[in-house]
Amino acid sequence: MEQRLQKLIAAAGIASRRHAEELIAAGRVTVNGEVVKELGSKADPDKDHIKVNGKLINPQLQSREKVHVLLNKPKGYLSSVSDPEGRPLVTELLPPSLGKLHPVGRLDFNTEGLLLLTNDGDFTNFVTAARNRVEKVYEVKVKGVPTEGGIQRLRRGVTLEDGTRTAPAKIKKLNETQTNAWYEVSLHQGRNQQVRRMFELIGHSVLKLRRVRIGFLTDEKMKPGSWRFLSPGEVARLMKKR
């Protein structure tokens, strides 16, 4: 897979991304023997020979260990590796010894539940591609009690306020009181804030949202804030063509 040179140099542990940009601009980086000075140039470490100061960096890239983690995200954390507003980040819930990981997809700041993180760009690209997406299951608490007709609309698919259409969804009622209702919602799609926007459309705001399953991965016994490594078998299963 082609990636920006500064990212590859940083991933090989040779320099920070910023310093890598300086090395490129200074003409100290070659791809297949040609000096590359343009920032933003890309190379594929599986095919191209990338040298920094005359030294091949491909071996460092190959030996870098791939890490895949399942986190039970608490509310109040941002699914991102940085935030200009300085809010708490999901990456801060993991030990620094795991190295730099990025979230695979996203959960809203105030959504809890299962989130994958990795340093494996191929894994992220595969798992987030529309054709490979596994079912994701959410538990939702809403304000008020929606009518059965409203829920049927959501099951069939609705047009969101931005004009996009949601695919059919499985929705099961779990509980209801006079003031609230709880549902289990299963989706293959992952539009931004999809569950919140679906219920908003039928006039019921989401008060609590938790992702309890990603494909075959469930949150059994995982406390909010806790994490575990995926096994090689789990990684292989998630990367299986569907």
3-state secondary structure of 234: helix
Cα separation, 128 vs 169, whole angstroms = 19
By the rule CB under 6 A, 194 interacts with ligand URA: yes
Instruction: Name the active-site residue from 44, 46, 108, 120.
Output: 108
Which region, judged by CB under 6 A, interacts with ligand URA, from 39-47, 90-98, 146-154, 187-195?
A: 187-195
Which region, judged by CB under 6 A, interacts with ligand URA, from 44-52, 127-135, 175-183, 190-198?
A: 190-198
3-state secondary structure of 163: coil
By the rule CB under 6 A, 193 interacts with ligand URA: yes
> Is 108 annotated as catalytic?
yes
3-state secondary structure of 9: helix
Which region, judged by CB under 6 A, interacts with ligand URA, from 18-26, 166-174, 193-201, 215-223?
A: 193-201
The β-bridge relationship of strands 29-31 and 50-52 is antiparallel
By the rule CB under 6 A, 116 interacts with ligand URA: no
Shortest Å distance, C-beta 194 to ligand URA: 5
Number of residues that bind ligand URA (CB under 6 A): 8
DSSP H/E element including 214 = strand 206-214
Neighbours of 242 (CB within 10 A): 7
Residues marked active site are found at 108
